[in-house]
Amino acid sequence: MLRFDTLIIGSGLAGLSLALKLADQQKVAIVTKKTMLDGASAWAQGGIAAVLSPEDSVEEHIRDTQTAGAGLCDPVTTRFVVERGASAIHWLINQGVPFSKEDNGGNDYHLTREGGHSHRRIIHATDATGKAVQQTLLEKILAHPNVTVLEHHIAIDLITGKKIGIPDQRCQGAYILNTAKGEVLTVAASNTVLATGGAGKVYLYTTNPDTATGDGIAMGWRAGCRVSNMEFMQFHPTCLYHPHAKSFLISEAVRGEGGLLKLPDGTRFMPWHDARAELAPRDVVARAIDYEMKKRGLDCVYLDISHQPESFLREHFPNIYARCLSLGIDIAKQPIPVVPAMHFTCGGLMTDLSARTDVNNLYAIGETACTGLHGANRLASNSLLECLVFAEAAAQDILGKPAPALTALPAWDESRVTDADETVVISHNWDELRRFMWDYVGIVRTTKRLQRAQHRIKLLHEEINEYYCNFHVTADLLELRNLVMTADLVVQSALSRHESRGLHFSKDYPHTLHEAVPTILYPAD
């Protein structure tokens, strides 16, 4: 049995930030399914939203967040996060993150603007902010003697008192599969943190990496945590449409710097849908693109920023420019074919302002959590900000209380399982799930489609549980099990909301109710 003060499951910005904040005083373990940079944080292009300009204000950032969130943002949480934005950015600067500066030779940082923002407040490192931040923090993590990194390890389930039959109901650690060796480790921890990201892979088309399989949300739900607002799955409006461009995002900042959305004949269409046009929040833009594509039978629409000089594009969007050029698209001369794709899970495990869940000594941070910040639709570039602020909040809570004694935990029991004889069941069910979620639980929904999805999820759930109980666990099986559980939570939440709000648009309930109320699901005892 491995023993740590704090076990962090996930290696995105939330997990790495928390580890650094704890490591001087605790023994910390970071568990990650693949390598340390294989999460959504490292893929983030646009940047981090914070009030850093004297022309901006906390009140305006709060108002923009609440407007994008369609009235469902928790006001206390929103203020809590926005007020701590500048200090979070300064912490990153002190760690050495190379944010882009103005090209006037001074020390001022370049701030860009994205959809839904009333000011330029997005600090960034060209168009690869997440990668720059993650690499900077990772260097410090790997050099710290108190941090143990377990790459190619996937969490199976949390260990609670209820799970192992003891009166102490707190979270006591987790069972972890070493995917390279096929061994299951028992990891005991005084505190356990779920920082596994979102659940984008529950959909056929997503901007998320392959690691985004809802693991933390599903594990927390099975352990007894409430989940909230799972119907609000954000579809990013502009994913590159090309057969060889898997999950490549075209940053919101391209529209922020003047990019225009057009039909194949060159006609702009966003002014028909919203007065803010291309700078409307993501839910508005994604629905507009979806509407135009379905109305006209289009495979994609086009994002045109060719009116900007090539030198400007190379400087501000070097990665997007290079990636498109490698596929034969010169964005300085021609528009970029784009389609919406699932991007961000706005709901998740319910937490308080210290990142605590309903289970004692279990925390959730980042996209795994539902803090109340995002409401019915996340404002662009608030996600990495949320990671930073709640990593700090969790660190303060963990370090500010006495650590409970570690309990001797039972080893993983494999005495009644065998090797699987037919792994095709997993790949088939994975494909079926992602396809019907895209068709039935996508940008525009109906009650009948949601009920069809729910029926198929029930059948998949039964098949997968039988498989899980009879065969040795594998990474593919664990991810599928978690995806089906997460899909079920999405559909349950969507069926319970009898209105259209933010990212949840129902043809059966097209109007928005006067009162904004979060969706909360309670696990069975």
Burial class (CB in 10 A: 0-12, 13-18, 19+), 71: middle
For 225, which DSSP code? -
For 505, list phi and psi in degrees, rounded to 5.
Answer: -120, 115
- Whether 452 is a known active-site residue: answer no
What tokens were used for 133? 């931040």
Please give the Cα distance from 402 to 283 (Å, whole number).
44
Burial class (CB in 10 A: 0-12, 13-18, 19+), 431: exposed
Please give the Cα distance from 60 to 55 (Å, whole number).
10
Distances (CA, A) of 145 to 14, 20, 138, 141, 260: 20, 11, 13, 9, 49
Set 84, 121, 255, 282: catalytic member:
282
Run of H or E including 289: helix 282-296
Please give the Cα distance from 22 to 172 (Å, whole number).
18
- Could you tell me if 119 and 55 are in contact, meaning their C-beta atoms sit under 8 angstroms apart? yes
SS3 annotation, 24-39? CCCCEEEECCCCCCCC
Give the closest residue to 136 by CA, choosing from 16, 258, 276, 43: 16
- Could you tell me if 279 and 250 are in contact, meaning their C-beta atoms sit under 8 angstroms apart? no
- The DSSP bridge pattern shows strands 362-364 and 183-194 to be parallel
Burial class (CB in 10 A: 0-12, 13-18, 19+), 411: exposed
∠ Cα 456 233 318 (to 5°): 125
Please give the Cα distance from 261 to 292 (Å, whole number).
11
Residue numbers annotated as active site = 282
